[in-house]
Structure 1
Amino acid sequence: QVVALTTTQINGLNSDDLNALTTDQVKVLTSAQAAALGTTQLSKMTTDDIEALSTAAVRALNSDQVKALTTDQVVALSTDQAKALTTTQVAGLTTAQVAAMQSDDLNALNTAALRGLSTTQLAALNSDQIAALTTTQVANLTTTQINGLNSDDLNALSTDQVKALTTAQVAAIGTTQLSKMTTDDVEALSTNAVRALNSDQVKALTTDQVVALSTEQARAMTTTQVAGLTTAQVAAMQSDDLNALSTAALRGLSTTQLAALNSDQIAALTTTQVANLTTTQVNGLNSDDLNALTTDQVKA
């Protein structure tokens, strides 16, 4: 009988009559009937009835209807209903609605729908919601969305989520964002992601973050990146990381940067690295650094 009601009849039901429908009756509402519901009618439906709507009915709701849902109704959405939301529907959610979404529901959004969220909507998410995103979802966020994340949200990403970041996404991270990333997250960046950092981003790394770099990440650094390091960053580099630098990258160090290295760092250089230092670099070494060279390094 409910299925037989016309869209005009559905639209004409008052809130009491609409809420008198059982969940079984709500489940059989057609897409056309759901689309005919007024925003006031929809906003006054019980959370049980909202949860009873079929995925087809949810998908049929227009932007105004979706925006009319209360935060309690948004909380009541099932993961299947969240999965059914279209890009247009998700883009139309208010910040209060986005903030009210269950982590499982956010996790269920398709990547296209998630990419439809504005930076303002993303900013409304809390750390738990950000942490609940799948690595696939994170890898599909736009560069604008990544750049719009605040430091707390960026730090809420797990190391697996950070590993999933693409080179384009990492290149879009602001210098302030980058400088506030945890050392664990910096260490989790892929070597391709590290290589994608521009000079300003590299220069924004704190000394603790530089210390956290793995030898693989150090090996991935370009000549331009190494040449842009501050003396404090060079002085903070682990000996193993210096040892991992390509000869071309090492040759890019200025005499001022080399002067920032301590004796242990100099002694850690490979014979190949020492043999490839420029004459200007060798001439710029102070006596302590020169005396720190091992006999094998001197022979090189």
Structure 2
Amino acid sequence: MNYNYLSLRYFIEVATYLNFSHAAQKLHISQPGLSQQINALEKELGVKLFHRSTRMVSLTPEGEYLFKNLSPALEIIERTITELKEEGAVPKTTIRIATVPSAASNKVPFLIQKLKEEHPMIEFYIKETTSVHAIELVQKNEYHLAFIRTPIDLKHTIQKPLDWMEFTKHPLQAALSCDHPYADQDEIDLLELKNETFLHYDAKHSPSLYFLLEHACLTAGFIPKTIGSGPEILTIANLISNGIGITLLPQDMLELLQSYRIKAISLKNLSLLSSISVVWNSANVPVIVEDAIRILDEMMK
């Protein structure tokens, strides 16, 4: 095989722009020189990579196949070389994760464990925070991943260059003290709880949970009476355990509170779902983040 890295790099640029003139400018070579490199690569491979006319350039099926499979590999090669030059040594593999507490207790430990199997020297930083703040940290490239409570308006909230992956949805349930009069029930009509005092969520920092509780109560036919808003999940658990109010929580959050004296009760005739999503900045994806996304995708499947 006589083709080299440069000829493959030239192919990637032409395939990206589908314009020999633009690709030549990007590569700082002459257009005839670029055409000669592509012709030589096509001759070496024994296939035609581009359809060329005076008005347009397009990929052949073989060209599309090569571009799809070659592009990620070359990106990894170039990123690895850049990191090595910048560090002057083998770079440390570091991942920064901002997460809501519920995801910090299950998905994040699984991810770190799998990453350590592939990258034994990995360093990680985990920051427990709100969904809104976690997204901001990823937008600013201060953190690589954000595990958030999926917003109701996901596509509006998570806009390019941010990308996301949503995990399994879980039903909303009532969370009551084990000493509550309704604690012996496995299912309840939410309207029966209209006179209860609810622990609410902060509309700015936990908009998804705030909306779900509001929507659930309004759908049941009442406005919830609230005693407070904004506490963290463990504070909520202690308040409920001591009979200081009730609340509505997704099933995956309630499963983390099994050591507390809390009874989870399904809601009759009301199906509201909530999930965790992971968010990353697609404009800046280090290799370690690519590996993390792959692991999470495999976990989903």
Give TM-score scaled by structure 1 length: 0.23
Q: Which structure shows the higher helix fraction? A: 1
Between Structure 1 and Structure 2, the one with more strand by share is 2
**Which structure's CA Rg is the greater one?**
1
